[in-house]
Chain A
């Protein structure tokens, strides 16, 4: 039998390779505009944004394992993100600033929470399941905010302090807080290269997130192509037939729920690894909604879609929210005064604080015209380029013999 590389068929191997290359060259790809130019603020190649895209990409890929495959729409996945962050920060406080133990603990703890929450929530399906997960997430949020203050430090959020034990790191000199690192290599250290009038930032934290994101993506491909992945799609398609075929859908959905919870925990752990603090806000229902929007915007049930959705949303959030009225003034200063004010007023609704409006309009357009998400758009574009503008069905291709009579002229 032909042995496939990494257990993937040639098509998937090629796909994974493209994803790896795209990820590794993100610092260059997201920096297309020359520094100092008018468009420089559309450059996304700075560490904070790139890390967020990688991390939320992981979050969305995991969410898609549950939502895209089984069709169960969880509205409380941010709880696992928050739990992962808290677990990781505790590890940084107690054990070591090396991120590996923190991230492992984040996955384990969020996996345990997912097992408990999933076990109860999965007794129901459809809207009831969504509401149950939402209720659990809000419970986690409220508890982190109030009664669990000894564990979560309430509304201030869990932070590092100078007198944390950090057993493995040993005594620390000086009065500055330690930074997260991987075997001594600090997460926030960057290497800047100036070339072609652009500044490219190669950041340790981003590359760490990128490697983990690639691993997470690879696991997701394997899972999608495995018999287990097929069973999850069977859950979405017809649970009745599944039971009468001798399969129990419950453990399958629970396993998917726990796996996607662990992905969320991993993302939460990475967020803490990039910036070692964890707040309850990370578990708020809007954060849960955001991952739903990412997945649907990119294309639920596809491999690449959620990553794309996460990228687009984080890009919009970070770039559009920075465009304030001052920037708009610079752009439109060539317009006559009265017109300029109107134009700036309109644009200001969509930028700065109003970036959510841009997101909303984008989401509406995508859901209306591309129900399969941005991935569907790319696929259509691809086939347009390859085959020219092809007729999609017989209605697009009027048969000359059977054309209806032309309308009579109105005299």
Chain B
């Protein structure tokens, strides 16, 4: 049994079958990559996992609990954190405030009326947030307004915000999309470090094969809404079906 079990999931948008009979099992403490050409249904699948979309059929179970019909914030409280394709952070707030919010969410749940307490009194959470910022090398930026940082730093902050919640599963949606090579390599290094140092399962959707092959333990190839193969990176590299899915049948490679 994997920590995340996807069984027979299908999703249809009008006449378009975006996902059909998707089975996926993500094992604990591994990095599982989901790749596939444009329109293969990668993002739809991810949205089904975090509660943004509800699949038409099939089941999604996380650590023994069904996530179907749960709201995104409830799914997060179960222990799934999501990193978006374009960094989603609180742009108007400082880096430190960005870190404090997930700390509060982890400790106090989806809502708590802490209107009388002062921020300064939360020394435990402040220490936790600062330690996390230090881990990702951003402690010197703690008082910056988040939106004024570079794309790479925003991504780093977003990952730190997810990690400070100590999630069981970290979902990454094309974490290096639109990044310069140097930023991409930094992100890969950061993710590798996370993988080694923490007990965490990572599921990653990615276009960039360099990223996929440097991180993944298992790879699922999605094509036209269904998984084509699931295997180790080495086996995927030589698989003719994968080449076919990416480049088309009639193409000579």
Interface residues of A (CB under 8 A from B): 1, 4, 7-9, 222-223, 225-231, 233-234, 236-238, 240-248, 251-252, 255
B120 at the A interface (CB under 8 A): yes
- Assess the B104–A231 pair: CB atoms within 8 A: yes
22 A–B contacts from the bound complex (CB under 8 Å): A1-B121, A1-B123, A9-B120, A222-B118, A225-B118, A226-B114, A227-B117, A228-B114, A230-B119, A233-B90, A234-B93, A236-B92, A237-B90, A238-B90, A244-B81, A246-B76, A246-B77, A246-B105, A246-B109, A247-B111, A248-B73, A255-B115
Chain A hits for B81, CB < 8 A: 244-245
Answer yes or no: B208 CB below 8 A from chain A CBs: no
Residue B187, interface by CB 8 Å:
no
In the bound complex, do residue A248 and residue B91 qualify as a contact, i.e. CB atoms below 8 Å apart? no
The residue in chain B whose Cβ has the minimal distance to the Cβ of A259 is B115
| Seed contacts A231-B101, A237-B93, A243-B76; 18 additional CB < 8 Å A-B pairs | A4-B120, A7-B116, A9-B120, A229-B115, A230-B93, A234-B93, A237-B91, A238-B88, A240-B88, A242-B90, A242-B101, A245-B101, A246-B76, A246-B106, A246-B165, A247-B73, A247-B104, A248-B73
Question: How far, in whole Å, are A80 and B202 apart by their CA atoms in the complex?
Answer: 50
Whole-angstrom CA separation of A245 from B99 in the bound complex: 11
Q: Whole-angstrom distance between the alpha carbons of A195 and B115 in the complex?
A: 45
Could you say which of B73, B104, B118 contacts A243, with CB atoms under 8 Å apart? B73
Asked if B110 and A244 sit within 8 Å, CB to CB, the answer is: no
A255 to B122, CA, bound (A): 22
Q: Could you say which residues of chain A place their CB within 8 Å of the CB of B122?
A: 227
Instruction: Give which listed residue, B93, B110, B121, B123, contacts A247 with CB less than 8 A.
Output: B110
A241→B89 contact, CB < 8 A: yes
- Distance in Å from the Cβ of A52 to the closest Cβ of chain B? 28
Q: Tell me, in angstroms, the Cα distance from A227 to B50 when the chains sit together.
A: 26
Give CA–CA (A223, B106) in the complex, Å. Answer: 21
* CB–CB A252/B111 < 8 A: yes
Residue B161 at the A interface, CB < 8 A?
yes
Closest chain A residue to B167, Cβ basis: A246
Q: Which residues of A contact B100 (CB under 8 A)?
A: 227, 230
A279 nearest CB across to chain B (Å): 33
Chain A's closest residue to B92 (CB) is A237
CB-nearest residue of chain A to B161: A245
Across chains A and B, which 9 residue pairs bring their CB atoms closest together, nearest first? Answer: A246-B76, A228-B115, A248-B110, A237-B90, A246-B105, A251-B111, A241-B88, A237-B92, A243-B72
Q: What is the size, in residues, of chain B's interface with A at 8 Å between Cβ atoms?
A: 38
- Cβ contact within 8 Å between B76 and A244: yes
The docked-state distance in angstroms from the alpha carbon of A125 to that of B50 is: 22
Chain B residues within an 8 Å CB radius of A237: 90-93
- List residues of chain A with CB within 8 A of the CB of B237: none
A238 with B89: CB separation less than 8 A: yes
- In the bound assembly, the distance between CA atoms of A307 and B123 in angstroms comes to 33
Q: List chain A residues, Cβ under 8 A from B71.
A: 243, 248
Nearest residue in A to B158 (C-beta to C-beta)? A241
User: In this assembly, does B182 line the interface, its C-beta being within 8 Å of a C-beta of chain A?
Assistant: no
- Whether a CB of chain A sits under 8 angstroms from the CB of B209 is no
**A4 in contact with B88 given A230-B100, A233-B93 (CB within 8 Å):** no
A241-B88, A246-B165 known; A234-B118 Cβ under 8 A: no
- B105 to chain A: closest residue by CB: A246
The residue that B116 contacts in the complex, of A222, A243, A251, with Cβ under 8 A, is A222
Residue of B nearest to A256 (CB): B115
Cα distance A228–B116 in the bound complex, in angstroms: 8
Cβ of B1 under 8 Å from chain A: no
Q: B82 within 8 Å of A by Cβ? A: yes
Chain B residues with CB below 8 A from A9, complex form: 118, 120
Most buried by A among B77, B90, B117, B121: B90
